Amino acid sequence: VGRKIQASAVEALAGLLFDGMTIMAGGLGQAGVPETLIAQVRASGVKDLTVISNNGGLDGFGLGTLLAGGQIKKLVCSYVGENRILEQLYRSGELELEFAPQGTLAERIRAGGAGIPAFFTRTGVDTLAAEGKELREFDGQRYLMERGLTCDLAIVKACTGDHAANLAFRQGAQNFNPLMAAAGRVTVAEVERLVAVGELDPDQIHAPGIYVDRVCESTLDTTGAAPYPAPRPAAAARFGQRAGWTRDQMAARAAAELGDGAYVNRGVGLPMRVAEILPPGVSVSLQTANSLQGEGAAYFNSAEGFGMIRGGHVDLAVLGAMQVAANGDLANWMAPGLVKGMGGAMDLVAGVRRVVVLMEHVEKSGAPKLVEACTLPLTGARVVDLLVTDLGVFRLDRGLRPLTLVELAPGVTLDELRAKTGAAFEVALG
Amino acid sequence: VGRKIQASAVEALAGLLFDGMTIMAGGLGQAGVPETLIAQVRASGVKDLTVISNNGGLDGFGLGTLLAGGQIKKLVCSYVGENRILEQLYRSGELELEFAPQGTLAERIRAGGAGIPAFFTRTGVDTLAAEGKELREFDGQRYLMERGLTCDLAIVKACTGDHAANLAFRQGAQNFNPLMAAAGRVTVAEVERLVAVGELDPDQIHAPGIYVDRVCESTLDTTGAAPYPAPRPAAAARFGQRAGWTRDQMAARAAAELGDGAYVNRGVGLPMRVAEILPPGVSVSLQTANSLQGEGAAYFNSAEGFGMIRGGHVDLAVLGAMQVAANGDLANWMAPGLVKGMGGAMDLVAGVRRVVVLMEHVEKSGAPKLVEACTLPLTGARVVDLLVTDLGVFRLDRGLRPLTLVELAPGVTLDELRAKTGAAFEVALG
């Protein structure tokens, strides 16, 4: 047995926990969450924690248990998801929330582990995420300076670990785990399966043991039973009785933008349907923060996934929106009473070559969502190339050319469309 | 067959080559060199190339063939090794050389591929590598700003590729290849083995297909036959008749600095012997730019390997030296008439927790190598913790305390040592 191997989570965390410390915790949604170690942090009663993690767990699951225990003072994350206790703590002022774009968060953690104190990224320029940060131009583009992150303790979860503390992950469980392993001043890993040295192929190790100080076996895995919130019922029926395109037709119109062999990233909700309604003869690869799916598959960590996005390797993103402005501005992450975090949306609009937005043309109230200037906080400025609504298709070209209607849905008149649109537009119907 | 698969290197590079272009070429020494694609670049006659690669190949091997063909105008690399044609071209002014520390080079390429225009690193501060670069302080430490690198074309070599252009590497062949694949505006890969989609485990892909535009099979592999220069004969015999320690004894003294379980990186030459002469009961892991060896093994790319180094994860480096100064300055990469590049030495001294130097006490000429101030270009300022020579052991503590002799070799007198040392030192023999 290697010198890093511990008999249990109790031993693995012995002497490492103190009030006011900063902890990074791996995991994205329900994948790769160090549940056993989190349970031991919970049992220890340590408090006033600053926790860095992509999200805040769920009620009764993962970091949600530390929130319920009142142990977390501040959460640095990209998205908080559906979590009632978190929402209560935040609204009552008992929890401080700091949002970072998901790709920026991943890269900051990678930088911290790799001895890089700061780097520049386009993600978040012209948004709230830029507040207080240095803005700098390189080759005519503006970038934000972001700082590397380290922590007192990183807790991670791997599928397999060997006695030299080398770690291997399965599929989406990689996410933030290898990055955090490197960024911890001390790193503790729990593993589903502990194996002898030599059982892991040296070419297939995602987090080399040099990053990992202690290893124990997982004894808690509730992901199968975790109360992950069911998706809200789709709003599809709402369009049944009206003029304009159905949601499937909207998705199909967006899908028509996909060339054969394209790499595409889709936002949640309606954009997810785009891949199901591809034109004949077209096949695409679907990119996410942690995978490529389509012709074959590949899994990778979140720094790699967002490096792909920021580096311009993804051809197209299909996103939902709350508001789109005539100049290509996009708002899709924050509204009064809705504080969830930007997730990966800012990274996508800053990095993907072409951005297509799918949204209903008006709010439930009837208020226009295509407007002269966004009133909601921006996800990105001048980033939308094409907008597909239930009433028509608009070319925005990132604000380089005037807003132009290029297709009108059946049964919709130009006068009706103008009345429901908060911005002037040109008309160039094919 | 996937749409990215090409019948040969001729098709794979068709239409992509033009005079004056910038090409990145993967490979480190003889591992992972895209020989088949380089041969086609050679055959094409394209010229005035700027080539970015860790080293310049060998005479008659890899990039050495393009140098011989007069096709390379400028080479950006970390080390040029033993290459007569390169040396001739450089001395005659026909070739421009730009050296970057190996870890900085890897990170600049990763940054380029990941949409990061610039980042900060401690590597190279207070050395020639800092010339013309912005210096900036973070948390009391000084860092250099380094720029991301991209290129017109990246050529890489993988062990296995599938029809979706996913790539997997074996052992040290990973090196710069996955990083360059992402940094190419166009990327072409040659693979030893082309397989159907599904044959590569999606968790074990080192360069996802999204980075790779075209793939062909390797038809040239001369690594077995390549004229890699034999190591120069060891200088061991020179010490036979003199007072002081033998080279083995020096290595053993350095090995005594290694704690059980330590992660250690060794420079070339005498430092390599350190791992062979460990004290009883001590086992260590050996770290290189692309691997960990010891208790189990792991392979990784060069950005990961140098991230480990820069991030402070390596406990100890054992390095050779040309000069060491009383204040801990180290010079070990450049001397009059010797222009080889700094390789990874600047990264090591900037990142590793403790630096032990092993060197002969005087030059062949008898001139002292332990001096008041280095006259050769620095590898790093105030970086040496301990110096082991054939005549004694000195504590330098990175210049925080006065230079102190702590052990004297048998048969050596203090007067003799003072006469052979170019700096004043205190004496605290145990």
How does residue B222 score in pLDDT terms, banded at 50, 70 and 90? confident
Mean of the pLDDT values across residues B50-65? 93
Mean of the pLDDT values across residues B72-87? 90
State yes or no: pLDDT of A251 exceeds 50: yes
Q: How far is residue B209 CA from its own chain's centroid?
A: 27
Do B171 and A308 count as a contact with CB atoms less than 8 A apart?
Answer: no
> Could you give the dihedral angle defined by the CA atoms of residues A174, A177, A182 and A188, in that order, rounded to the nearest 10 degrees?
-130
Pick the most confident of A271-280, B160-169, B225-234. Answer: B160-169
Say if B400 is an interface residue toward chain A (CB within 8 Å): no
Do B143 and A204 count as a contact with CB atoms less than 8 A apart?
Answer: no
3-state per-residue secondary structure call for A65-121: HHHHCCCEEEEEECCCCCCHHHHHHHHCCCCEEEECCHHHHHHHHHHHHCCCCEEEE
State yes or no: pLDDT of A121 exceeds 90: yes
Among the partner residues A147, A202, A260, nearest to B297 by beta-carbon distance: A202
Distance from CA of A308 to the nearest CA of B (A): 6
Q: How far is residue B343 CA from its own chain's centroid?
A: 4
State yes or no: pLDDT of B232 exceeds 70: no
What is the rounded average pLDDT for all residues in chain B? 93
Say if B285 is an interface residue toward chain A (CB within 8 Å): yes
CA pair distance B63, B267, nearest whole angstrom: 24
Beta-carbon count within 10 A of A413 CB = 11
Q: Where are the beta strands (DSSP E) in B263-383?
A: 263-266, 285-287, 291-293, 298-299, 316-319, 323-325, 330-331, 334-335, 338-339, 354-358, 370-371
What are the chain A neighbours of B215 within 8 Å (beta carbons)? none
State yes or no: pLDDT of A184 exceeds 50: yes
Among the partner residues A114, A118, A208, nearest to B292 by beta-carbon distance: A208
What's the pLDDT at B276? 87
What burial class does residue A240 get, using C-beta atoms within 10 Å of its C-beta: 0-12 exposed, 13-18 middle, 19+ buried?
A: exposed
Say if A309 is an interface residue toward chain B (CB within 8 Å): yes
What are the chain A neighbours of B111 within 8 Å (beta carbons)? 119
Q: Count CB pairs under 8 A between chains A and B.
A: 193
What are the chain B neighbours of A116 within 8 Å (beta carbons)? 107, 119-121, 307, 310
SS3 call for A303: helix
Q: At what angle do helices A102-113 and A302-310 cross, to 10 degrees?
A: 120
Least confident of A84-98, B179-193, B214-228, B266-280: B214-228
Beta-carbon count within 10 A of B211 CB = 25
Say if A263 is an interface residue toward chain B (CB within 8 Å): yes
**Pair A131, B125: CB distance under 8 Å:** no
How does residue B1 score in pLDDT terms, banded at 50, 70 and 90? low
What is the rounded average pLDDT for all residues in chain A? 93
Do B114 and A107 count as a contact with CB atoms less than 8 A apart?
Answer: yes
pLDDT digits 0-9 by tens, A19-72:
999 999 999 988 999 999 999 999 999 999 999 999 998 888 999 999 999 999
What's the pLDDT at A1? 64
What's the pLDDT at A367? 96
CA pair distance B357, B395, nearest whole angstrom: 11
Beta-carbon count within 10 A of B356 CB = 26
pLDDT digits 0-9 by tens, B349-399:
999 999 999 999 999 999 999 999 999 999 999 999 999 999 999 999 999
Closest alpha carbon to A267 in A278, A254, A283: A254
What are the chain A neighbours of B169 within 8 Å (beta carbons)? 203
What's the pLDDT at A228? 56
Among the partner residues A3, A115, A285, nearest to B122 by beta-carbon distance: A115
Residue in A139, A201, A313 to test binding to B, most B beta-carbons within 10 Å: A313
Say if A139 is an interface residue toward chain B (CB within 8 Å): yes
CA pair distance A116, B118, nearest whole angstrom: 11
CA pair distance A141, B147, nearest whole angstrom: 14
Do A298 and B208 count as a contact with CB atoms less than 8 A apart?
Answer: yes
A302 to chain B: closest CA residue: B114
| Whether the predicted model's global pTM rises above the 0.90 cut | yes
Say if B166 is an interface residue toward chain A (CB within 8 Å): yes
CA pair distance A284, A314, nearest whole angstrom: 11
**Pair A226, A65: CB distance under 8 Å:** no
Say if B121 is an interface residue toward chain A (CB within 8 Å): yes
For chain A, the maximum distance between any two Cα atoms, rounded to a whole number of angstroms, is 76
How does residue A336 score in pLDDT terms, banded at 50, 70 and 90? confident
What's the pLDDT at A230? 57
ipTM surpassing 0.85, yes or no? yes
What's the pLDDT at A402? 97
Residue in B120, B136, B187, B299 to test binding to A, most A beta-carbons within 10 Å: B120
Mean of the pLDDT values across residues B195-219? 95
CA pair distance B141, A147, nearest whole angstrom: 14
Say if B283 is an interface residue toward chain A (CB within 8 Å): no
Say if B315 is an interface residue toward chain A (CB within 8 Å): no
Strands A72-77 vs A49-52: parallel, antiparallel or unpaired: parallel
Do A209 and B115 count as a contact with CB atoms less than 8 A apart?
Answer: no
Say if A135 is an interface residue toward chain B (CB within 8 Å): no
Among the partner residues A117, A210, A295, nearest to B197 by beta-carbon distance: A295
Encode burial over A86-98: b for 16+ CB neighbours within 10 A, e otherwise.
bbebbeeeebeee
Say if B287 is an interface residue toward chain A (CB within 8 Å): yes
What's the pLDDT at B239? 45
Do B261 and A310 count as a contact with CB atoms less than 8 A apart?
Answer: no
Do B163 and A295 count as a contact with CB atoms less than 8 A apart?
Answer: yes
What's the pLDDT at A337? 79
What DSSP letter does each residue of B333-349 carry, written as one string? SEETTEE---TTHHHHH
SS3 call for B63: helix
State yes or no: pLDDT of B338 exceeds 90: no
Find where tokens 């890993």 sit: A189
Distance from CA of B298 to the nearest CA of A (A): 4
Q: At what angle do helices B102-113 and B302-310 cross, to 10 degrees?
A: 120
Mean of the pLDDT values across residues B37-59? 96
What are the chain B neighbours of A162 within 8 Å (beta carbons)? 296
What are the chain B neighbours of A107 within 8 Å (beta carbons)? 114, 116
What are the chain B neighbours of A303 within 8 Å (beta carbons)? 114
State yes or no: pLDDT of A238 exceeds 60: no
Among the partner residues A147, A166, A204, nearest to B296 by beta-carbon distance: A166
Residue B242 or B374, more confident: B374
Cα first-last separation, chain B: 71
Closest alpha carbon to A391 in A249, A236, A268: A249
Mean of the pLDDT values across residues B94-121? 96
As a whole-number percent, the residues of chain B with pLDDT over 90 amount to: 83
Distance from CA of A113 to the nearest CA of B (A): 5
pLDDT digits 0-9 by tens, A208-235:
999 999 999 999 888 766 555 555 554 4
CA pair distance A42, B401, nearest whole angstrom: 45
Among the partner residues A118, A260, A287, nearest to B138 by beta-carbon distance: A118
What's the pLDDT at A240? 45
CA pair distance A205, B329, nearest whole angstrom: 36
SS3 call for A27: coil
SS3 call for A39: helix
Beta-carbon count within 10 A of A395 CB = 18
Residue type, B355: V
What's the pLDDT at B107? 97
What's the pLDDT at A335? 87
Among the partner residues A114, A118, A202, nearest to B307 by beta-carbon distance: A114
What's the pLDDT at B24? 98
How does residue B296 score in pLDDT terms, banded at 50, 70 and 90? confident
Do B164 and A296 count as a contact with CB atoms less than 8 A apart?
Answer: yes
State yes or no: pLDDT of B68 exceeds 90: yes
A212 to chain B: closest CA residue: B313
Say if B116 is an interface residue toward chain A (CB within 8 Å): yes
What's the pLDDT at A294? 86
Say if A113 is an interface residue toward chain B (CB within 8 Å): yes
pLDDT digits 0-9 by tens, A310-321:
999 999 999 999
What's the pLDDT at B356? 98
Q: Where are the beta strands (DSSP E) in A241-374?
A: 263-266, 285-287, 291-293, 298-299, 316-319, 323-325, 330-331, 334-335, 338-339, 354-358, 370-371
State yes or no: pLDDT of A175 exceeds 90: yes
pLDDT digits 0-9 by tens, A134-159:
999 999 999 999 999 999 999 999 99
Radius of gyration of chain B (CA): 23
Mean of the pLDDT values across residues A295-300? 88
